[in-house]
Amino acid sequence: MSFSPLNRRNFIKGTSATLALAALQAHGMPLHKPATIRRVALIGTGWYGKSDLFRLIQVAPIEVVALCDVDAHLLAQAADMVALRQKSKKRPALYADYRTLLAEAKPDIVLVGTPDHWHSLIAIAAMQAGAHVFVQKPVSVDVLEGEAMVAAARKYNRVVQVGTQRRSTPHLVDAKKRIVEAGLLGTVSHVEMCCYYHMRANGNPPVQAVPDFFNYDMWTGPAPLRPYDGLPHRGWWRTFMEYCNGIIGDMCVHMFDQARWMLNLGWPKCISSTGGIYVDKGGKSTTPDTQHAIFEYDGLNCVWQHRSWGTAPDPDYPWALMIYGDKGTLKCSPYRYDFIPAEQGEKIHRDVVYEREKYPEDLHEPDIELHAAPAMRQHMRNFLEAIDKNIKPVADIEQGHISTASCIIANLSMKLGRPLTYDPVKREITGDAEATALLQRPYRGPWVHPMVDTV
């Protein structure tokens, strides 16, 4: 399938599934068909965990054999939904402890859909148990967790795909091929990334008794045990730095990873950041409502800005990546992209690909992100192809680690008030013992922090 460089705002908007699949194939994203039925387990059955699993069910001959969650109600609801969705109609085995699941169910593939503070321990345990892993971003809440995940993947020869699905988003794959790699931008010397969503949960709910269907101690795991003030599912846990990396770790990780993918960038040479809670000071939230970060490369800075208040400078691109070259500008979001030439030339616009006709069940799935579903399906196909061929997937754990760790180091820079340079060989902040000590968070016992030499 070929595209003419015309500014047709609705070219792909509402396109058929046939066009969507053709676009993927035309840009080097083959629609892999797995050779065998694999046993799959999901650990963390909340919103996006189920969404990831349902995308996998749509593209592969799998059998969901086990689910795990510390919320018994959430777990039972997920089991009912899986039984309806998977081909066998079987209800998977249910577990409250991921360690028991790994020992008894022995899955070939594990999807990790837990809150961020659990990603590393569960992913590593799954690899040690012999499973390939799909883990949501960010891969870790400290830098050394991520280093241990990369080491485990290589030691056990496991494929680990990270949920940075911009690398599999059809219109962004098109932008990479048609704009960046074709040289339409010229020399790229600046990148801007932003998020202006009002997504920071806040408030002062009272401390209360933990319900009997929810194991709060296990949910907390290695993180600090906060007083229980309600079910943490969906947005509430994300407002506490105890469990996450803030908005930069949730939203910048996507855009920074996309920038690195499009421009073939590795580790930044220096990272600096400022920010804090500037506006929304009432409530319990510990995540910054405002943050600015700079990821420095030779001749190029990638600059991040988020505000969870006020308005977006460009209402069409409230969560976005902008790549600036001397011949033009590329603006990207999960919903669209626009190429604006610096001088004469055609503007190019593409919209997100939808696959409503091929996957009508999407329209009835609670809380689905319809715009992200085609990207995640292709991300899952790529994951399975990597397993079949024993190759690295498009969002390999090492790439996910670089993008995640860079955002974590930005948070450390904001905390310490100085630029930081990470040495991934020595696994230290160059010339800064205080910052190096912060590369590993303290774990709450009896949980033990994973290390490169002990995975």
The pLDDT assigned to 101 comes to 98
* Average pLDDT value for residue range 177-194: 98
Q: Which residue has the tokens 């680690």?
A: 401
The CA–CA distances, whole Å, from 196 to 61, 199, 295, 323 equal 39, 8, 19, 18
Query: How confident is the model over 257-267, as pLDDT tens digits?
Result: 999 999 999 99
Query: How confident is the model over 107-128, as pLDDT tens digits?
Result: 999 999 999 999 999 999 999 9
Amino acid making up residue 241 = M
Tokens read off for 258: 């996309």
The mean-pLDDT minimum among 33-37, 140-144, 206-210, 387-391 falls in: 33-37
Is the entire prediction scored with pTM above 0.95?
no
Delimit the domains of the chain by residue range: 29-166
In angstroms, the CA 400 to CA 36 distance is: 27
Is 29-166 in CATH node 2.130.10.10?
no
Query: How confident is the model over 137-180, as pLDDT tens digits?
Result: 999 999 999 999 999 999 999 999 999 999 999 999 999 999 99
At 174, phi and psi to the nearest 5?
A: -60, -45
Query: How confident is the model over 313-360, as pLDDT tens digits?
Result: 999 999 999 999 999 999 999 999 999 999 888 999 999 999 999 999
**SS3 labels along the chain:** CCCCCCCCCCCCCCCCHHHHHHHHHHCCCCCCCCCCCEEEEEECCCHHHHHHHHHHHHHCCEEEEEEECCEHHHHHHHHHHHHHHCCCCCCCEEECCHHHHHHHHCCCEEEECCCHHHHHHHHHHHHHCCCEEEECCCCCCCHHHHHHHHHHHHHCCCCEEECCHHHHCHHHHHHHHHHHCCCCCCCEEEEEEEECCCCCCCCCCCCCCCCCCECHHHHHCCCCCCCCCCCCCCCCHHHCCCCCCHHHHHHHHHHHHHHHHHHCCCCCCEEEEEEECCCCCCCCCCCCCEEEEEEEECCEEEEEEEECCCCCCCCCCCEEEEEEECCEEEEEECCEEEEEECCCCCCEEEECCCCCCCCHHHHHCCCCCCCCHHHHHHHHHHHHHHHHHCCCCCCEHHHHHHHHHHHHHHHHHHHHCCCECEECCCCEECCCHHHHHCCCCCCCCCCCCCCCCCC
The pLDDT assigned to 149 comes to 98
Q: What is the mean pLDDT of the chain?
A: 93
End-to-end, the C-alpha distance of the chain in Å comes to: 46
The pLDDT assigned to 240 comes to 98
Given a contact cutoff of 8 angstroms between Cβ atoms, the answer to whether 134 and 114 are in contact is no
The pLDDT assigned to 234 comes to 86
* Average pLDDT value for residue range 417-424: 98
* Average pLDDT value for residue range 305-319: 97
The CA–CA distances, whole Å, from 409 to 15, 30, 396 equal 40, 35, 20
Q: Is the pLDDT at 104 greater than 60, yes or no?
A: yes
Percent of the chain with pLDDT over 90: 91
DSSP count for the chain of H helices, then E strands: 13, 16
